[in-house]
Amino acid sequence: MFSSSPAMDRKENPDAHDFEIELPEFKKKDVKVQTYEGRVVRVSAERKDDEEEDEEKGSWHCRVRRSNAKDDEIEASMRGGVLVVVVHKVDEAYVKDKKNESGRIEIEIPLL
């Protein structure tokens, strides 16, 4: 069954913002991590009807704004239905230079 509000754990350390999002209903191919304006990270997940796998369709997204996000050093990995996003920090001058850029982050699946 699809959960409309996945659990999300946020932690901040001196070098980065760490997010763990429980998305057991989704596979890596269903999840996107993107950046906007050098400080907004958008995580979205969408699954369409798949008659072969008999899975329920659903979608979810969230946006996190961090004024000190370094958008070219964001890491994402997914394992066991948990998406981990690490947003490295920078100073404010870096963010001002990047405010009109956007991009997509590749999600990695760690090897066991």
- DSSP-assigned letters across all residues of 30-82: GEEEEEETTTEEEEEEEE--BTTTTBPPEEEEEEEE-TTEEEEEEEEEEETTE
pTM equals: 0.73
Residue 2's pLDDT band (cuts 50, 70, 90): low
- Please give the distance of CA 34 from its chain centroid, rounded to a whole number: 7
pLDDT tens digits along 40-75:
889 999 987 665 566 677 888 888 887 777 877 889
Domain containing residue 45: CATH number: 2.60.40.790
Domain count, the chain: 1
Residue 1 located in a structural domain: no
Q: Per-residue pLDDT for 84 more than 80?
A: yes
Residue 2 located in a structural domain: no
Residue 3 located in a structural domain: no
Residue 68 located in a structural domain: yes
Range of the domain at 71: 8-106
* Window from 5-9, 48-52, 56-60, 103-107 with minimum mean pLDDT: 48-52
Residue 1's pLDDT band (cuts 50, 70, 90): very low
Decide if 34 contacts 105 (C-beta within 8 A): yes
**pLDDT score, position 19:** 94
